[in-house]
Amino acid sequence: MGIDWNATAAKSNAGTELMCRGLEQRLDPALLVEFQIIPSRVENPLNPDKIRLLWCHDLAHDQIYYHLADGGWNRFDRLVMVSNWQMNSFIDRYAIPWSHCVVMRNAIEPLPLKTREKGVCRLIYTSTPQRGLNILVPVFAKLREKYGRQVELDVFSSFKLYGREEDDEQFKPLFGQIERTEGATWHGTRSNSEVRAALMNAHVFAYPSIWRETSCLALMEAMSAGLICVHPNCGALFETAANWTAMYQWHEDPKAHARVFYNVLDMVVASELGGQVTAPLLAQKHYADFHFGWERRAKEWELLLRNLTDRRHKSPAWQTAPMA
C-alpha cells in the first residue's frame, strides 16, 4: 500500500504532499508495500495486514487528531512526527508513550548558491497568507519609505497550493494591498521550482509568523538558499532554525509583533546593503543541507521501516516493545 492517499491530500501540493511524494520516489516499493502510511487525516479504513503509521503534520489540538484520545493512538503501530516540539505536544495532550512515537523531520532538495545582485535587498515570503502576511505588508511599506528602491518584496502566497482557492477570498484585500504597494509583487501560487528560483535571487526570508508551525519547509529552503531568515521563535520554528537565523521573540499582540519584526528586519536590510553578512550564511546553508537534505532523510526512513518490518517478522508482540 505505502502512502495511503486520501481525498484531501490527493488534490494538494502543500508540504505534507511534497513529503509523501518525495518518500514514494526514494524508497523501495517492495518495502513501502508492507506499510499503511497515513498523512495526517484518517479517511480510509485501517488495514490490519499492514504496519500502520500515522504521519502527523499538524498541531496536536487539530480536530483531525481527536481520535487519538483515550488510547486511540494504539490503533497505529507508530506515530511519526515532524519535529520534537510537535511530538512533545502530542504526548502531553493524548498521553502517548514516548516509545510509540518517532521524529522524522521534513526534507528538502538543497538549493545551489547563486551570486545575488548588489545594491538592492530583495525580501521574499513563501507561505500561505494566514501565517503573518498581514504583518509583513505594512512593515515592508515602512521599509520602502526608508530605503526606497533599494528594498523589494516578492510574495508567493495562496490557498490554491492546497487546492482551496475559495479560502483566498478573505485575503483578497490584503493581496490588493500588496499590488498597490510600491516595490512589492504578489505572485500567488507558483510551482516549487519557480519558488526555489526566486529564493536563489532573494536576500532575506521575511516571515513574521503568527502560526505555530510544526515544521517549516519554507524556512528550510530559505536557509539552504543562503538567505538571511527573519522570523519569530513560535512553534517549531526555533527547532528548525537551530539558532542560525535572525530569530526574535514572538509577541501575541499583532502591533507589538509588527514593531519587533520591523526593528529586526530594518537591521538586517541595513546589514545586507552594507555587505556585512556573508560568512554566517554559508555555515547556515551547510547545516540546512546536511540536516534537512532528502539524501539523509530517505536513509533514516528506510532504517525506520526496515526496523519495523524486522520486529514484526521476528515477534508477534513487537508493537509493545520500545524501538532500538
Answer whether residue 82 shows pLDDT above 80.
Answer: yes
- Partners of 37 in beta bridges: 3, 53
Enter the C-alpha cell of residue 20. 509523501
Alpha carbon distance 53, 307 (integer Å): 13
Q: Residue 98 — pLDDT band, cuts 50, 70, 90? A: very high
**Total residue count of the chain as it appears in this document:** 324
CA distance to 35, 46, 77, 281, 285, per residue, from 125 (Å): 36, 38, 38, 18, 18
Report the percentage of the chain scoring pLDDT > 70: 93
Alpha carbon distance 172, 32 (integer Å): 42
CB atoms < 10 A from the CB of 321, how many?
Answer: 10
**Which is more confidently placed, 210 or 8?**
210
Minimum mean pLDDT range among 8-17, 21-30, 306-315: 8-17
Q: pTM value?
A: 0.91
Superfamily of domain 121-288: Glycogen Phosphorylase B; (3.40.50.2000)
> What's the per-residue H, E or C state across 173-206?
HHHHHHHHCCCEEECCCCCHHHHHHHHHHCCEEE
Alpha carbon distance 180, 30 (integer Å): 53
**Which is more confidently placed, 317 or 170?**
170
CA distance to 104, 253, 304, 322, per residue, from 319 (Å): 19, 45, 14, 8
Alpha carbon distance 203, 278 (integer Å): 11
pLDDT value of position 225: 96
Alpha carbon distance 51, 73 (integer Å): 14
Q: Residue 324 — pLDDT band, cuts 50, 70, 90? A: very low
Q: List, in order, residues 6 or more apart from 62 with CB less than 8 Å away.
A: none
- Of the candidates 294, 277, 290, the one whose C-alpha atom is nearest the C-alpha of residue 229 is 277
Alpha carbon distance 157, 192 (integer Å): 12
State phi, psi for 48 to the nearest 5 degrees: -70, -15
- Of the candidates 124, 114, 118, 181, the one whose C-alpha atom is nearest the C-alpha of residue 150 is 118
Locus of grid cell 519584526: 261
If you count DSSP H runs as helices and E runs as strands, how many of each does the chain have, helices first? 12, 11
Please write the tens of the pLDDT for every residue from 238-297.
999 999 999 999 999 999 999 999 999 999 999 999 876 666 788 999 999 999 999 999
Alpha carbon distance 99, 80 (integer Å): 11
CA distance to 2, 85, 186, 246, 249, per residue, from 263 (Å): 47, 27, 24, 11, 12
- Whether 80 contacts 55, CB under 8 Å: yes
